[in-house]
Amino acid sequence: MRWNLDRVLVVVAALTFLGFGVWLITVPEALEGIGVHLTSPAARIDVRATYGGLELGLAGFLALCAMREDWVRVGLVASACTIAGFGLGRLVGIIVEGQGTPLMWFFFGLEATTTVIYVAVIRRAAPVAS
């Protein structure tokens, strides 16, 4: 297995999603720190599924991508799309709400910057043979 920037970025994304997935599947109340109040068992279950389970599933997929040379580019694209989706959703939320907290702007900046980095790496990578 050849290590390069592409594979490292897929592994970084996998580990990031793994960390958040494990954290939020085990401690869904952690979202209360950013103002998401979980007032029922159904809310905690949904956070575990959406924020925990989805991120764990994505982490698993990205780990598979990192282990297979011919899947690394797919992992990069999946990472970029997912991170861009988070950023787009956050920006739409800020616009719709008419405001964003400093933390939400920080997360948006991080997501936008990360997306730009991943897209730049994808664009410079050799195209996948069909």
99 to 2, 81, 95, 103, 113: CA distances (angstroms)? 45, 25, 7, 12, 20
Mean pLDDT, residues 54-81 taken together? 97
Report the alpha-carbon distance of residue 72 to residue 62 in Å, rounded. Answer: 8
Indicate whether this model's pTM tops 0.95: no
Report the alpha-carbon distance of residue 25 to residue 45 in Å, rounded. Answer: 9
Q: Which pLDDT tens digit goes with each residue over 5-38?
A: 999 999 999 999 999 999 999 999 999 988 899 9
Q: Label residue 129 by pLDDT band (50, 70, 90).
A: low
Report the alpha-carbon distance of residue 120 to residue 1 in Å, rounded. Answer: 23
What is the structure's pLDDT at 99? Answer: 93
pLDDT at 127 over 80: no
